[in-house]
Amino acid sequence: MTIELGLMLAGMLMIGFLAQWLAWRVRLPAILFLLLAGIILGPATGVLNPDKLLGDLLFPIVSLSVALILFEGSLTLRFNELPGIGNAVRGLVSYGAVAALLLLALAAHLVAGLSWPIALLFGALACVTGPTVIAPMLRTLRPNARIANTLRWEGIVIDPLGALFAVLIYEAIVSQQEGHTLGIFVATILCGAVIGGLAAMAIGFLLRRQMIPEYLQNYAVLATVPLAFSVSNALTHESGLLAVTIMGIALGNMRNVHMDDILDFKESLTTVLVSLLFILLAARLHWPLPDGMLGAGIALFVIAQLLVRPVTVALSSMGSSLTWRERALISWVAPRGIVAASVSALFALRLDALGVPGADALVPLVFTLIIGTVVLQSATARPLALWLKVAEPEPRGVLIFGSDHVARAIGTSLKDAGFRVVLADDDWDGIRQARMDGLSTFFGNPASPHAERHLDLAGIGRMLGMSTNRERNSLACVYYRQEFGRDKVYRLRNLTPQESTERAAFSGGLLSPPLFDENMTHGRFGEMLANGWRVKSTRLTATFDWPHFIEQYGSDTVLMFGIEEKGVLRVASSKRELEPRPGWTVIALVPPTVV
């Protein structure tokens, strides 16, 4: 049994990785491939039977995994960001979420015949979207910035709030089922809130005063979350999920507590847990489904997609500046994800053990909704966005890492040529000057977990590393290869002589194609600007082509970019020489002697 269990867990880890990798390659939510893998291993072939494989360990493993997932999700909720997310998002995550919960509960009660308590729990689970399914869909969908920001913020904010709704409804059902009074229910809520708050205060106190070394901080938080979950459950039954949710929200909003590294670790851990959990939960699905559940699940999916979501978006966006086209696309895109699947499976296990009628229908209905929304919306959202004329064209924008005078000069030239340009840097003086120059900016390291959640890359398709820090330049280039591809990431070299020596040079795997020509470095470009060289943008014609341009401005001219007639940006590099043609617009650095 030990060998069988170990081999099965190792195989699930590898299958989970392959599913995540495939999702990255095809730019679809990983949940789709994880669920498919679980269904193939479980109901389809019978290779994986989680109940037989894990036995009594199944419930604790699922419970602790869900606790860690909810904690990680609640860490991302920042109260100071709520005022700036717009009327539409505030509506979607407040009264819009409540309206969706009630409408979905009503549909589940009427269509699937669920009792009101289970129907309300289904509504709480089914009204939640999440960033783990929204983010990859937005990369494929590529809507305009207003739609992308609305959907992204909705997913970030409603993820922990929806889990909190579900936990509260679940606590009420359990209290009623076990004959608990209203006082016990209130005590359960208070206990979860107090334990979560105390745990957050304790770990925050230790982190703020640097009483835990950095290499143990992730371990400390990882140990505290299941401890708070278990202690809360021991004091008042089934209050642990509320405790870890409150703990995450409180810890994520503490001042002077550095959470980026911890959140990065938790995101990596959550990826592993989600992969294992989805395969396990999908493998537990029984086929055929309980009588009428397949038809009811499809009917609920249709109602959620065509009725509930449009109604809630219409209510939530009243008074906002969104156009009807933007509202229409937002009404179509609402994929369900991690919280709905994992929490529904956990609650179903517990409610089924308590003998609550209809608990066995919760998982099939939720999973049918997840599969339906992910598959349909992934396949149709981009064509719909194009038809509504709210989609970004092919990503033509440029992300520039750096904000000094060199980066600002290049960014301004691209912005004047009609490209979306974002300068990202953690140098406040440079960012401030870039903002004064009218450039879009992001204050922070573009390769940080914070940037992954908050840097808006809508319409961005290239990255130019122009930081004066050579090491961070290379790190950012490696990081954004995953996002844009190797052929869309370039760097402006800092010290060519050092790069040519074996002792100082980076490994070839860390290097991206250098910008412009063989001799161009960041320092040389800055000196040329200081000596009066200027960035020149000219449209070539049949009578004034590139050779004529060189003849007029001199052979020392440095070609930087070429823009084709269709608006495609070409980057000059020592690894890829450009041959500008008539009809192109060239951006070049020309000597000061030319008037």
pLDDT at 313 over 70: yes
Which amino acid is present at 543?
Answer: T
Fold of 2-388: Na+/H+ antiporter like fold (1.20.1530)
Distance, CA of 536 to CA of 186 (rounded, Å): 70
pLDDT at residue 77, rounded to an integer: 62
Domain ranges of the chain: 2-388, 397-590
Whether pLDDT at 84 is above 60: no
Phi and psi (nearest 5°) for 404?
-75, -170
Q: Show contacts of 184-192: CB within 8 Å, 24+ apart.
A: 184/236, 187/236, 188/236, 188/237, 188/238, 188/239, 188/242, 189/239, 189/242, 191/232, 191/235, 191/236, 191/239, 191/243, 192/167, 192/232, 192/236, 192/239, 192/240, 192/241, 192/242, 192/243, 192/246
pLDDT tops 50 at residue 503 = no
What's the token pair of residue 424? Answer: 């990202």
Asked whether the predicted pLDDT for residue 136 surpasses 80, the reply is no
Average the pLDDT over 343-353 and give the result.
77
pLDDT tens digits for range 382-395: 889 889 988 876 67
Q: Rounded mean pLDDT of the chain?
A: 80
pTM of the model: 0.64
pLDDT digits (tens, 9 = 90+) for 422-435: 888 888 888 888 88
- Indicate the range of 164-173, 538-547, 553-562 predicted with least confidence: 164-173
**CATH topology for 397-590?**
Rossmann fold (3.40.50)
- In this chain, the answer to whether the domains covering 2-388 and 397-590 adopt an identical fold is no
Distance set, CA 508 to CA 18, 446, 512, 577 (Å): 26, 22, 8, 20
